[in-house]
Amino acid sequence: MIPTIAWRDDRVVMIDQRKLPFKESYVVCTTLAQVVDAIRKMVIRGAPAIGVAAAMGLALGARRIRIQNRAAFERNFQRLCDQMASARPTASNLFWAIQTMQQVLRDHPQASGEELKELLRLKADELLAEDQAINQAIGQHGQAVVPNGATVLTHCNAGALATAGYGTALGVVRAAWETGKKIQVLADETRPFLQGSRLTAWELQQENIPVILITDSMAGYLMSQAKVQLVVVGADRIAANGDVANKIGTYTLAVLAKENKVPFYVAAPLSTVDLSVTTGKDIPIEERDPQEVTHSLGRPIAPPGVTAWNPAFDVTPNRLVHGIVTEKGIARKPYKRSLKTLKQKRA
Ligand code: MRU
């Protein structure tokens, strides 16, 4: 598997996902501002990977704080957290990671600035390692719903590249594959950023897991022809009632899955579940540069000057979701109760 993000000495190194699959290059960050910029520009993307990058970015930024006293350190660190929170609005994991890093300060009220720098770095390391373990657990729970011989449709990239490793939706696919199930994946290309064709297809190809690429508009036809036995997608934020924000086009797939009686599952870590958000209506949806729609891979594909719209995510209502696969088990309806129970469950 491709390492998405790693420390190299005191620098944060990420594979540049904007360039894949054509070029394997890396972006090296030495400051928090560079990590924020990398998240904003999608060098690194996918909710769990954004969360890990945020934690590492904060650990990196904290190193540069010139310490006068504890209070000054706290004020400076809060500024870094505010900067990080502005990177992207939808993925819950970004805010969860910031809160987790802030908790380090609260847990060590007597620690000096120098000690806090070390503790923040240790916490970021922990989140990086933990994310891979979480995805493997998601895979173990999720593989049970994958029928042998199934064609599994997925959208966007919820794979190793979208996490610290193994993936969420693709973690379910990987685990099913590793148990010996004969499956294949239908990968939606996922316009406009093409995470499906550039990243999911590439990632699966690297591991010889059978993958067939389709354009987004082909999903309904293929479902109607009984060519799809299961849909599994990731999530950027899940509200307390089980409404799911994920890559634009996910809602369309969920409606099509219902119409064609295909089970529709979401795979995500519990850090993506935001119990402070009651329903999907309260999830902020990122609007990205319309140029991502008028252009593809840097080239214009529309008449110059045409107006374009680019909401990056949509919300799938909980009634369309068969189950939410987490590291602590599969949440079922009613989600308000099952998600809360899983969040409170001890590891
Ligand atoms: O805009 P992106 O590429 O960050 O969107 C990613 C998705 O929508 C993924 O499906 C989601 O973050 C889950 S990744 C495990």
What single DSSP character describes residue 179?
T
- Whole-angstrom distance, CA of residue 63 vs CA of residue 31: 9
- Could you tell me the two tokens for 176? 């099913």
Residue 147's pLDDT is 98
Average pLDDT over residues 258-287: 98
**CA neighbor of 162 nearest in space, from 131, 205, 184, 123:** 131
Q: Which atom of ligand 1 is nearest to the CA of 169?
A: 15
- Could you tell me the two tokens for 321? 């979701």
Q: Please tell me the number of Cα atoms within 13 Å of 180 on its side-chain side.
A: 0
* Residue ranges matching CATH 3.40.50.10470 in the chain: 139-346
Please check whether residue 202 is in contact with residue 189, taking contact to mean a CB–CB distance below 8 angstroms.
no
pTM of the model: 0.97
Nearest CA to ligand 1 atom 5: 46
How far, in Å, is the centroid of ligand 1 from the Cα of 188? 13
pLDDT band at residue 3 using 50, 70 and 90 as cut-offs: confident
pLDDT tens across 181-230, in order?
A: 999 999 999 999 999 999 999 999 999 999 999 999 999 999 999 999 99
- Whole-angstrom distance, CA of residue 23 vs CA of residue 312: 24
| Residues in contact with ligand 1 (CB, 6 Å cut-off) | 45-48, 91, 156, 158, 162-163, 168, 195, 234-236, 246-247, 312
Nearest CA to ligand 1 atom 6: 46
Residue 1 has pLDDT above 60, yes or no: no
For 17, phi then psi, to 5°, come to -75, -15
How far, in Å, is the centroid of ligand 1 from the Cα of 312? 10
Q: Is 241 left (phi over 0), alpha (psi -120 to 50) or beta?
A: alpha
Q: Please tell me the number of Cα atoms within 13 Å of 90 on its side-chain side.
A: 24
Q: Which atom of ligand 1 is nearest to the CA of 156?
A: 10
DSSP result, 269-308: -GGGEETT--SGGGSPPPB--THHHHEETTEE-S-TT---
How far, in Å, is the centroid of ligand 1 from the Cα of 232? 13
Q: Which of 131, 188, 236, 314 is catalytic?
A: 236
Q: What is the mean pLDDT of the chain?
A: 97
pLDDT tens across 228-253, in order?
A: 999 999 999 999 999 999 999 999 99
pLDDT band at residue 68 using 50, 70 and 90 as cut-offs: confident
| Residue whose pair of structure tokens reads 């979401």 in the numeric block | 266
How far, in Å, is the centroid of ligand 1 from the Cα of 158? 6
Q: Which atom of ligand 1 is nearest to the CA of 267?
A: 15
| Residue whose pair of structure tokens reads 């999830």 in the numeric block | 283
Amino acid letter for position 251: Y
Amino acid letter for position 284: P
The residues facing 7 across adjacent strands are 12
Q: Which atom of ligand 1 is nearest to the CA of 167?
A: 15
The answer to whether residue 236 is catalytic is yes
How far, in Å, is the centroid of ligand 1 from the Cα of 98? 18
Please check whether residue 50 is in contact with residue 37, taking contact to mean a CB–CB distance below 8 angstroms.
no
Domain 139-346 has CATH 3.40.50.300: no
Exposed e or buried b for every residue in 145-157, given b needs 16+ CB within 10 A? bbeeebbbbbbbb
Domain 5-136 has CATH 1.20.120.420: yes
- Whole-angstrom distance, CA of residue 247 vs CA of residue 313: 4
